[in-house]
Chains A and B, each alone.
Chain A
Amino acid sequence: MAPSFMRRLRQETPSWVSDGVVTAQQAETILARYPESGRWFQRPIVIFSVLGGALVVLAAALLVAHNWHEIPRWAKLAGVLTLLLGAHAGGLVLRARGHGLMGEGLFVLGGGLFLVGIALLGQIYNLAGGESDAVLLWWALLLPAAYVLPSIALIALGWLGASVWFWMFVLDRMTWLGRDIYSNGSLGAVAFGAAGVLVWALGALHGDGEFRRARQLLEQLGLLTILVAMVPLGLLRQLGAWWSSGEATRWPVAVLVLIGLAAVAVGVASFRLPHDRPVVRAGPAAALLLVLLYLFAVTLQLIHRAAADVFRVLGWTNWAILLVVALALILYGARWDRSAWINWGVIWIGVDAVARYVELVGTMLQASALFAATGLFVIALGGALELLRRRVTARATAPRGSA
Chain B
Amino acid sequence: MRRGLFIAAVVLQALVLVGWSASLEWELASAVRIRLEVVQRDPRDLLRGDYVWLQYVIADIPLETIAGGRPDYGDRVWVTLAPQDNVYALAAANRAPVAPGPGQRVIVGRVQTLSTTARGPEVHIVYGIERLYVPEGRGVLPRGGKFEAEIALAAGGRPFLTRVFVDGRPYP
Mark A residues whose CB is within 8 Å of B. Answer: 61, 64-69, 73-74, 77, 80-81, 84-85, 88, 92, 110, 114-130, 137, 141-142, 144-145, 148-150, 173-176, 178-179, 182
Residue contact A66 to B135, C-beta cutoff 8 Å? yes
- B161 close to chain A: CB less than 8 A: yes
Residue contact A148 to B2, C-beta cutoff 8 Å? yes
Distance of A85 Cα from B111 Cα, bound (Å): 39
- B136 close to chain A: CB less than 8 A: yes
Which A residues touch B49, using CB under 8 A? 64-67, 123
Residue contact A145 to B21, C-beta cutoff 8 Å? no
A-B contact pairs, 9 of them (CB 8 A): A65-B47, A67-B49, A81-B14, A81-B18, A88-B6, A92-B7, A137-B16, A174-B73, A175-B74
Residue contact A174 to B74, C-beta cutoff 8 Å? yes
Which A residues touch B73, using CB under 8 A? 173-174, 178-179, 182
Distance of A66 Cα from B12 Cα, bound (Å): 27
Residue contact B3 to A92, C-beta cutoff 8 Å? yes
- B110 close to chain A: CB less than 8 A: yes
- One digit per residue, 1 when the CB lies within 8 angstroms of any chain A CB and 0 when it does not, for chain B 102-131 equals 000000001111000000000000101111
Known contacts A92-B3, A122-B48, A174-B112; A84 and B10 CB within 8 A of each other: yes
Known contacts A64-B47, A64-B48, A125-B160; A77 and B17 CB within 8 A of each other: yes
- A130-B128, A137-B16 are known contacts; what are 17 more A-B pairs with Cβ within 8 Å? A65-B44, A65-B48, A67-B133, A67-B135, A67-B136, A69-B135, A74-B21, A81-B14, A81-B18, A85-B10, A119-B47, A121-B24, A123-B48, A126-B162, A174-B74, A174-B110, A178-B74
Distance of A73 Cα from B133 Cα, bound (Å): 13
- B90 close to chain A: CB less than 8 A: no
Task: Please classify the interface of chain A as helix (H, G, I), strand (E, B), loop, or mixed, using the class held by over half of its residues.
Answer: helix
Instruction: Out of A69, A126, A148, name the residue touching B6 (CB < 8 Å).
Output: A148
* B interface residues, how many (CB within 8 angstroms): 45
Residue contact A128 to B74, C-beta cutoff 8 Å? no
Distance of A126 Cα from B6 Cα, bound (Å): 31
Residue contact B47 to A115, C-beta cutoff 8 Å? yes
Known contacts A67-B50, A67-B135, A126-B133; A85 and B14 CB within 8 A of each other: yes
Distance of A175 Cα from B74 Cα, bound (Å): 6
Distance of A67 Cα from B20 Cα, bound (Å): 20
Residue contact B13 to A84, C-beta cutoff 8 Å? yes
Distance of A120 Cα from B18 Cα, bound (Å): 12
Which A residues touch B20, using CB under 8 A? 121
Distance of A80 Cα from B50 Cα, bound (Å): 19
Which A residues touch B135, using CB under 8 A? 66-69
Residue of B whose beta carbon sits closest to that of A183? B73
Residue contact A126 to B46, C-beta cutoff 8 Å? no
Give the Cβ gap from A383 to chain B, nearest Cβ, in Å: 48
Known contacts A116-B47, A174-B111, A179-B74; A67 and B134 CB within 8 A of each other: yes
Give the Cβ gap from A245 to chain B, nearest Cβ, in Å: 18
Give the Cβ gap from A38 to chain B, nearest Cβ, in Å: 27
Which A residues touch B112, using CB under 8 A? 173-174
Which B residues touch A66, using CB under 8 A? 49, 135-136
